[in-house]
Amino acid sequence: MELLNALALLSNYVLVPALAYGSQLALGALGVTLVFGILRFSNFAHGDTMAFGTMVTILFTWWFQSMGIHLGPLPTALLAMPFGILFCAAYVLATDRLVYRFYRSKRSDPVIYLIASVGVMFVTNGIVRFIIGPDDQNFADGERFIIKAGEFKKLTGLSEGVSIKLSQGITVITMFIVVALLFWFLNKTRSGKSMRAYSDNEDLALLSGINPDRVVAITWILAAALATIAGTLYGLDKSFKPFTYFQLLLPIFAAAIVGGLGNPLGAIAGGFVIAFSEIMITYAYKRVIAYLVPGDWVPDGLIQLLSTDYKFAVSFVILLLVLLVRPNGIFKGTGV
């Protein structure tokens, strides 16, 4: 019983949140890794692209809400998300047309793309703040929980409850659907295979008649879709604030690098590695231990490895460790 309680406690505060957060990071890292695989640079604007797509989704959500359109128990944002993806894709394609295409035609050094992406990040950040403002926005509606802690306790008779927020459930399910679709696309469709071929050997792809502009455009559209979905899910789960999305860059990059830049499977694994490490290291284990050891053995402190203020340090340290030990990532990427 005590053991079950400890497990319930861990599920509630570690497992469930980490699964949701990991899914969000995985989706974000997939976008970064796809852009890296095809265009060969780390896109610093990705966090702000997420913010842009989410912002459009929020605006449509508000519009739908004002017209009385709802999805019942599900958040209206799911209905608005396709519009977010549409606008975000258009925006990202416009940045490619206006910014990156020029450097592609000149075959510029990757670091030039990095700087250009910083410029795009600035502009995107400005646009998002200009339109929706720098503050927190809450746009979740519908049911709050799939399982409430109280219901769980009643159901199982345990003294610790496990609650699963609807947003967390939606996040994980959406992640599975999106990843399945993405892998189907990359492995089974003509366009997907041409993307992989281009990422593998650009010159040979050209010799095979693969149109580079098309591959690049598809990549940007996918990246925009992944960014919008990841951003919306994160916003539903927590809240939307432009600066937070900029800060998500670090864990997302860490996830992509840990998994091996350019490797989609690695990006997903990396997302979960980062999310679980971050939450496990910043969780205070005192109450879990209290269930497992006799009363007078329970330590005074919180038994928290690191304060949550330093959660970014976790991504950072994992990133450095991977760079030290396996610079290509856990799964081999196209990096280095």
Residue numbers of the site for other proteins (CB under 8 A)?
36, 41-42, 44, 99, 102, 110-112, 114-116, 118-127, 129-131, 133-134, 190, 193-194, 196-197, 200-201, 203-211, 246-247, 249-250, 253-254, 257, 261, 301, 305, 307, 309-310, 312-313, 315-316, 319-320, 323-325, 327, 335-336
Q: How far is the CB of 43 from other proteins (least distance, A)?
A: 10
200: left (phi over 0), alpha (psi -120 to 50) or beta: alpha
Nearer to other proteins (CB atom), residue 71 or residue 323: 323
Name the token pair of 277: 């490490």
Identify the three-state secondary structure at position 298: coil
Residues β-bridged to residue 165: 145
Q: How far is the CB of 117 from other proteins (least distance, A)?
A: 10
Q: How far is the CB of 4 from other proteins (least distance, A)?
A: 28
Q: How far is the CB of 83 from other proteins (least distance, A)?
A: 21
Nearer to other proteins (CB atom), residue 73 or residue 110: 110
Q: What value does the CA radius of gyration of the chain take, rounded to a whole number of Å?
A: 21
Q: How far is the CB of 193 from other proteins (least distance, A)?
A: 6
Nearer to other proteins (CB atom), residue 170 or residue 267: 267
For residue 16, how many other CB atoms are within 10 A of its CB?
Answer: 20
Residues β-bridged to residue 71: 74
For residue 236, how many other CB atoms are within 10 A of its CB?
Answer: 30
Q: How far is the CB of 327 from other proteins (least distance, A)?
A: 5
**What b-and-e string marks burial along 212-228, b requiring 16 or more CB atoms within 10 Å of the CB?**
eeebbbbbbbbbbbbbb
Please state, in angstroms and rounded to a whole number, the distance separating the CA atoms of residues 203 and 292.
60
Identify the three-state secondary structure at position 43: coil
Nearer to other proteins (CB atom), residue 82 or residue 134: 134
Q: Taking CA 243 as the corner, what is the angle to CA 120 and CA 302, rounded to the nearest 5 degrees? A: 140
Nearer to other proteins (CB atom), residue 31 or residue 75: 31
Nearer to other proteins (CB atom), residue 114 or residue 173: 114
Q: How far is the CB of 72 from other proteins (least distance, A)?
A: 31
Q: How far is the CB of 269 from other proteins (least distance, A)?
A: 17
Q: How far is CA 255 from CA 16, 63, 65, 99, 250, in A?
A: 19, 34, 35, 26, 9
Nearer to other proteins (CB atom), residue 138 or residue 187: 187
The residue whose two tokens read 């402190």 is: 301
Nearer to other proteins (CB atom), residue 17 or residue 47: 47
Q: Taking CA 311 as the corner, what is the angle to CA 307 and CA 315, rounded to the nearest 5 degrees? A: 140
